[in-house]
A = this chain, B = another copy of it.
């Protein structure tokens, strides 16, 4: 196991200087501090203080995702994680991040300097600086909805979209729909690509033809509906599946604007089952992601990684929920 002395020997500096560097003391230069941190990380050092104390400090980094109240996607994920963490007496900090934090300091360095044993990353994309650094990190890290190849210290937690999407397509098919559109979330995200593939597979499985003009990438906001719904309607879609409940609210608004009714003229299906889904009128047929369980599972995965169990993927089942926003295809 790497000690402070090993780091001091490698750098040819005093143990006390290494200690100052690791503990963020103010009486050493910024360069020395960074050199100590970089070397410590490279050598795989973990502070004894961390290891000895039963309680661990971990953090949840979050960006591009709302989480402040129970109506929002991230809220219950964080609650689930904290619930599980509390039982093990882990101390959890929730840290909103932005590009600035990521460019100011490297991920491993930030984690070591702040004494975090691990992290759960929410809302990050593969383009984020810190996510790019995860190929080489030695810090136990769990990502929601994104996968890092071949690093035993990083795991991926998410919902298996394909079964939920297949159930939704079956439901629409049974109601007589043949022209089913899919308004996806943002491009260049692993989960969006998985959902597109699942949708195409299910359409083919049901003997229908996947039409490129009915399968579009949008964004995870209601507003993206107005760019795509007119085209869907023009092309004869009688049902629109969405990659989130929020997108579905935008789709319903857009459908109404065209003088059509949901579900009498157009059926609409959401994704997530946020609280709003059951409160809408008509209430929203949707594919549920259990967010509390996602948070709990992320904790389990992180706990495993901290103890050397290299889980690469943990996927929850999606649950299809039928409500009022879907109905038989108009004859």
Contacts and interface: CB of A to CB of B under 8 A. Distances in A.
Given A150-B163, A163-B149, A167-B150, A311 B304 contact: no
A171 to B, nearest CB: 13
Contacts of A56: none
Given A150-B167, A300-B300, A290 B316 contact: no
A178 interface: no
Contact of A309 (B149, B163, B316): B316
Interface in A131-161: 149-150, 152, 160
A269 B287 CA distance: 43
A310 interface: yes
Given A167-B150, A300-B300, A311 B313 contact: no
Contacts of A319: 152, 310
A311 B299 CA distance: 14
Given A150-B163, A167-B150, A310 B316 contact: yes
Interface in A259-313: 290, 293, 296-297, 300, 304, 309-313
A100 to B, nearest CB: 33
- Most chain B CB inside 10 Å of its own CB: which residue of A149, A152, A304, A311: A311
Given A149-B163, A150-B163, A296 B309 contact: yes
B315 A312 contact: yes
Contact of A310 (B290, B300, B310, B313): B290
A199 to B, nearest CB: 17
A149 B300 CA distance: 23
Given A150-B163, A297-B304, A313 B312 contact: no
Contacts of A163: 149-150, 312
A323 interface: no
A206 interface: no
Contacts of A296: 304, 309
Contact of A311 (B167, B312, B315): B315
- Most chain B CB inside 10 Å of its own CB: which residue of A163, A296, A313, A317: A317
A44 B297 CA distance: 26
The 9 closest A-B pairs by CB, nearest first: A310-B317, A313-B315, A312-B317, A293-B309, A160-B312, A314-B314, A152-B317, A312-B315, A150-B163
22 contacts: A149-B163, A150-B167, A150-B317, A152-B317, A152-B319, A160-B312, A160-B313, A293-B304, A293-B309, A296-B304, A296-B309, A297-B309, A297-B311, A300-B300, A309-B316, A310-B317, A311-B315, A311-B316, A312-B315, A312-B317, A313-B315, A314-B314
Given A300-B300, A311-B317, 16 more contacts: A152-B319, A160-B312, A163-B312, A290-B309, A293-B309, A293-B310, A296-B304, A296-B309, A297-B304, A300-B304, A310-B319, A312-B316, A313-B314, A313-B315, A314-B314, A314-B315
Interface of A: 149-150, 152, 160, 163, 167, 290, 293, 296-297, 300, 304, 309-317, 319
